[in-house]
Amino acid sequence: MSSSTKVDLDGNPIKAMTICMIGAGGFIGSHLCEKLLSTTSHTILAVDVYNDKIKHLLEPESLPWNGRIQFHRINIKHDSRLEGLIKMADLTINLAAICTPADYNTRPLDTIYSNFIDALPVVKYCSENNKRLIHFSTCEIYGKTIGSFLPKDHPLRQDPEFFILKEDVSPCIFGPIEKQRWSYACAKQLIERLIYAEGAENGLEFTIVRPFNWIGPRMDFIPGVDGPSEGVPRVLACFSNNLLRGEPLKLVDGGESQRTFIYIKDAIEAVMLMIENPARANGQIFNVGNPNNEVTVKQLAEMMTEVYSKVSGEPSLESPTIDVSSKEFYGEGYDDSDKRIPDMTIINKQLGWNPKTSLWDLLESTLTYQHTTYAEAVKQAIAKPTSS
């Protein structure tokens, strides 16, 4: 073995593999492609309906990884080429999904089809062709915490048993059917159960990833600049948009919900370990988050306001936030997860992985990117007279 051969966590050489990455053109996919191309010799068959976020990896042809990434513009809902690509690959990673909460209650059918029905052939082709699958699920699978059903001042609310989310222990607690917010979590839950059953009954080699609010550059879109004016992206892009436009940040139902945010680059390290350590990752469900970065949404808004003022040099508003009801912001049928702290025992034991970046540091690099990428375009969009 040459001294430069990369080895896995057990000291075995890592062989170059072909990876079919579905949803490669999205936020997580673009970072994963970047990392795979710049630090490994694996080849990527990148599948998506869009490629704007990976254009810099596809062109020009003089790039050092030329030939190791091929883009296939395929809608997995209806394209017979998908099975061929999965057959060509050693590993399939499925990231494709509708995964913005504004869609869950307003487009529940599209949400359920995207997260369950459209993922079915991917699971089937992997199982039938004995191909390994890494499937992206979500922390939303846990729904609400057990503690959220206790009175606000109940002492057990402080007991970690009542709020820490553990892959092999915690229940999935969703609201009633008329709260269509849970259409996404429920579809993701059922596809997880199906994958698990394929593993148990047919020997499918799988890993399920439950991301806990991964954030960073290239997440979603800025409405009216590189996405629809009326579109509602996830919170990082909503708040970035408000800051870029000099508007108050909107706190849904007072911004009391809590989240743990993790820097995309830390999270990608965890996925790389899964890819290159199949013996440790197969058959596992992994939480991937940063339990040390917990804030309420209100605290996130305050921190983003402070960081943005620092990186842009622009003073913050006197009243930087404004309250808005969830019905007004998301429409009928919205509901929310109260708190999301990942238990890290399993990923720590199997892969020895831990997140590194503090919330302040990740916001500083992300908001620097947002300012550099969008400030000028937002100024122009504001200056443009709107057609009546």
Ligand X SMILES: O=c1ccn([C@@H]2O[C@H](COP(=O)(O)OP(=O)(O)O[C@H]3OC[C@](O)(CO)[C@H]3O)[C@@H](O)[C@H]2O)c(=O)[nH]1
Report the catalytic residues.
184
**96, 137 Cβ separation under 8 angstroms:** no
243 touches ligand X (CB under 6 A): no
**Alpha carbon distance 43, 19 (integer Å):** 6
Instruction: Report how far Cα 198 is from the mean position of its chain's Cα atoms.
Output: 24
Classify strands 262-263 and 164-165 as parallel, antiparallel or unpaired.
Answer: unpaired
284 touches ligand X (CB under 6 A): no
- 258's contact among ligand NAD, ligand X, none, with CB below 5 to 8 A by partner kind, is none
Select from 92, 111, 138, 305 the one that contacts ligand X (CB under 6 A): 138
122 touches ligand NAD (CB under 6 A): no
Where do the H-state alpha helices sit in the chain?
27-39, 55-58, 81-88, 101-104, 108-115, 120-128, 183-202, 235-245, 264-276, 278-281, 297-312, 326-330, 345-351, 359-383
97 touches ligand NAD (CB under 6 A): yes
Structure tokens at 195: 């994958």
Select from 36, 252, 273, 311 the one that contacts ligand X (CB under 6 A): 252
213 touches ligand NAD (CB under 6 A): yes
In the range 129-168, which residues lie near ligand NAD by CB under 6 A? 136, 138-139
DSSP 8-state secondary structure symbol assigned to residue 90: S
- State the minimum distance, in angstroms, from the CB of residue 155 to ligand X: 25
Dihedral sign computed on CA atoms, order 287, 173, 236, 56: positive
17 touches ligand X (CB under 6 A): no
In which residue are the tokens 């052939």 written? 121
**225, 377 Cβ separation under 8 angstroms:** yes
| Identity of the residue, 74 or 301, whose beta carbon is nearer to ligand NAD in the bound complex | 74
- State the minimum distance, in angstroms, from the CB of residue 32 to ligand NAD: 9
Select from 23, 101, 223, 342 the one that contacts ligand X (CB under 6 A): 101
Select from 143, 147, 216, 255 the one that contacts ligand X (CB under 6 A): 255
| Identity of the residue, 27 or 206, whose beta carbon is nearer to ligand X in the bound complex | 27
Contact segment (CB under 6 A) with ligand NAD among 102-110, 126-134, 208-216, 235-243 equals 208-216
**Alpha carbon distance 51, 67 (integer Å):** 17
Helix (H, G, I), strand (E, B) or coil at 250: strand
Helix (H, G, I), strand (E, B) or coil at 173: strand
118 touches ligand NAD (CB under 6 A): yes
234 touches ligand X (CB under 6 A): yes
| Identity of the residue, 12 or 325, whose beta carbon is nearer to ligand X in the bound complex | 325
In which residue are the tokens 């804030």 written? 295
With a CB cutoff of 8 Å and minimum separation 6, the contacts of 258 are 294, 295, 296, 297, 338, 339, 340
Contact segment (CB under 6 A) with ligand X among 61-69, 137-145, 309-317, 369-377 equals 137-145
198 touches ligand NAD (CB under 6 A): no
Helix (H), strand (E) counts: the chain? 14, 15
68 touches ligand X (CB under 6 A): no
Output Rg (C-alpha) for the chain, integer angstroms: 21
**Alpha carbon distance 283, 88 (integer Å):** 22
In the range 165-204, which residues lie near ligand X by CB under 6 A? 184
Q: How many residues bind ligand NAD (CB under 6 A)?
A: 24
28 touches ligand NAD (CB under 6 A): yes
Contact segment (CB under 6 A) with ligand NAD among 10-18, 45-53, 345-353, 368-376 equals 45-53
With a CB cutoff of 8 Å and minimum separation 6, the contacts of 219 are 27, 233, 234, 236, 237, 264, 366
Q: Which residues bind ligand NAD (CB under 6 A)?
A: 23, 25-29, 48-50, 75-77, 95-97, 99, 114, 118, 136, 138-139, 211, 213-214
Residues at the site binding ligand X, with contacts judged by CB under 6 A: 99, 101, 138-140, 184, 213, 234-235, 238, 250-252, 255, 257, 259, 297, 336
